[in-house]
Amino acid sequence: MIGYVTIGVSDLNKAKDFYTKLLADMDAKVLLDIGRLAFIGKNMGTPMLAVCEPFNKEPNHPGNGNMVALQPGSKEAVDAHYRKALELGATCDGEPGQRIPNQFYGAYVKDPDGNKLAFFHFG
């Protein structure tokens, strides 16, 4: 149902570097780059993450309550992506842990532009 999610960034090249390195083990790469906007994902037929310098040329603003949730496939992968995001310049917004017993395991970071990301696993 979701084609892509767009987040505003202040430096497109820095954002492309951050997200392609962070998501490389999920086979994500830049699929389309049109200057101020780039689509990152596995292929154009699956959900993608778009990073974009705002069209109006005003500073980007991470939305309060907005978050992109990524599902890397296991609790161990959640932990690994959390650590990798921090290594790439993200900040912690919630260490990895079981949030709902036997149902939801998650970790939260903010990317270098302040956009909130979750890595999660059901179970």
Q: Where are the beta strands (DSSP E) in 18-112?
A: 29-33, 37-41, 48-52, 68-70, 91-100, 104-110
Instruction: Measure the CA–CA gap between 86 and 18, rounded to whole angstroms.
Output: 10
Q: For residue 94, what are its two tokens?
A: 């919630």
Instruction: Measure the CA–CA gap between 97 and 104, rounded to whole angstroms.
Output: 9
Q: For residue range 45-97, what is the model confidence (pLDDT) as tens digits?
A: 999 999 999 999 899 998 888 999 999 999 999 999 999 999 999 999 999 99
- Residue the block writes with tokens 């892509």: 4
Q: For residue range 30-50, what is the model confidence (pLDDT) as tens digits?
A: 999 999 999 999 999 999 999
Q: For residue range 99-115, what is the model confidence (pLDDT) as tens digits?
A: 999 999 999 999 999 99
What single DSSP character describes residue 60? P
Q: What is the pTM of this model?
A: 0.90
Q: Is the confidence at residue 19, as pLDDT, over 90? A: yes
Q: Where are the alpha helices (DSSP H) in the chain?
A: 12-22, 75-87
